DNA sequence: CTAACTGCAAACCTTTTGCATTGAC
DNA sequence: GTCAATGCAAAAGGTTTGCAGTTAG
């Protein structure tokens, strides 16, 4: 979702791992690659269903799980600021973190070498071999720090 | 759950915020403070119900939400290694991270100054004011790196 | 005394699963 | 042709909610 992504990377990765490339999977992968915001399973389903009304919710869930299992997408929950659902993003080549504003719901994704270093640090300090990293922080974004606190309930 | 915790801290904090200190809340807080492993809502309920059979699941959920809202407990999902549920821990004074082994399910919690620095770094680099930090990594713990990969399904 | 909290039961929402059928390789 | 993947419908979690009765402050 954040940095630009090389088009067919995911599909090729799947193919090379012997996962069958069905029309439905292609569609889901395509949607995730083009997404400009974080999509939960239902959102993926709605978008997919719009393009191919025959696709079933269960297929979307199964596909997301497949992609996750193969490390091609990461699952987030954005600190549950928007509820219990899970969000998905194609795993980027450079690690980034998620800052979720509890006031306006905005999600920022600063990327950088520093976060990359976390993995190495854990490995050398504990021996643990990290494969998936999830760093999320809830708090107040710059804009909302200026804004007077708005009454809870109404959110953009 | 990780570092030792000052007994009445949470209760006092609640009291000072004008949240009514009912027997049920005291019980839940007490259980969380004494916990030696990560508890999900159902586990909290079972333990609570054992001590006070009249307590209701809904009350446990409501209490956990109250505590979370006031920043007294943190919610984790431990990378969903054990399913979709959420785990709760009393917010420790010193930030720690969670390393979840995808092979054996073990959770490690290295604490330290370094992780504390993440908050400051985000703040100074982006202006975002972090309140809750969640850093979880899925991967393989030292023990399981030596062990031959065991057939999936059977877990300790 | 009164607003806040609880127990209860039902609803809700998200995700998973068994089965017959379809389709990728 | 074969085995994996899909659509479908039903179930399984996990969590929330409206309401009437209870209780902390």
* pLDDT tier, B113 (very low <50, low <70, confident <90, very high otherwise): confident
| Buried residues in A82-118 as b, exposed as e (16+ CB within 10 A) | eeeebbbbbbeeebbbbbbbebbebbbebeeeebeeb
Pairing mode, strands A87-90 and A129-140: unpaired
B126 to chain A: which residues are within 8 Å by CB?
99, 108, 110, 142
- The 8-class DSSP code of residue B131 comes to E
Res B17: pLDDT: 87
Interchain CB contact of A99 with B (< 8 Å): yes
Q: What is the pLDDT of residues B133-142, one digit of tens each?
A: 999 999 999 9
Query: Which residue in this structure is represented by tokens 């978008």?
Result: A47
Of A109, A107, A105, the C-alpha closest to A95 is A109
d(CA A34, nearest CA chain B) in Å: 25
Q: What is the pLDDT of residue A155?
A: 45
Question: In the predicted model, what is the mean pLDDT of residues B25-46?
Answer: 96
Higher-pLDDT residue of B148, A5: B148
Write out the E strands in chain B. Answer: 39-40, 73-76, 87-90, 98-101, 107-108, 129-140
- Closest protein CA to C1' of nucleotide D8, residue: A56
The pLDDT, as a whole number, for residue A120 is: 92
What is the pLDDT at residue A6? 54
pLDDT (tens digit, 0 to 9) for every residue of chain A, 156 residues total? Answer: 655 555 568 888 888 888 999 999 999 999 999 999 999 999 999 999 999 999 999 999 999 999 999 999 999 999 988 888 999 999 988 899 999 999 898 999 998 888 888 999 999 999 999 999 999 999 999 999 988 665 444 444
B20 interfaces chain A, CB cutoff of 8 Å: no
Per-residue confidence (pLDDT) for residue A145, from 0 to 100: 95
Question: Token pair for residue A48?
Answer: 């997919």
Does an H or E element contain A15, and which? helix A9-16
Range 124-153 of B in CB contact (< 8 A) with A: 125-142, 145
Beta bridge partners of A89: A74
| Main-chain dihedrals φ then ψ at residue B118, nearest 5 degrees | -60, -45
What's the Cα-to-Cα distance from A119 to each of A41, A52, B139, rounded to whole Å?
Answer: 28, 40, 10
A139 versus B18: the higher-pLDDT residue is A139
What pLDDT does A109 receive? 95
């Amino acid at each position: 979702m954040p940095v630009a992504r090389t088009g067919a990377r995911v599909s090729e990765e799947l193919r090379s791992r012997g996962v069958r490339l069905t029309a439905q999977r292609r569609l889901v992968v395509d949607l995730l690659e083009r997404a400009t915001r974080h999509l939960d399973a239902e959102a993926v389903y709605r978008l997919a269903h719009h393009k191919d009304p025959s696709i079933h919710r269960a297929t979307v869930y199964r596909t997301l799980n497949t992609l996750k299992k193969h490390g091609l997408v990461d699952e987030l929950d954005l600190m549950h600021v928007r509820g219990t659902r899970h969000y998905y993003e194609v795993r980027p080549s450079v690690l980034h973190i998620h800052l979720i504003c509890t006031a306006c719901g905005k999600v920022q994704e600063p990327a950088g070498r520093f976060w990359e270093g976390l993995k190495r640090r854990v490995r050398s300090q504990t021996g643990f071999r990290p494969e998936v990293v999830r760093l999320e922080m809830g708090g107040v974004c710059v804009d909302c720090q200026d804004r007077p606190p708005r009454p809870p309930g109404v959110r953009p």
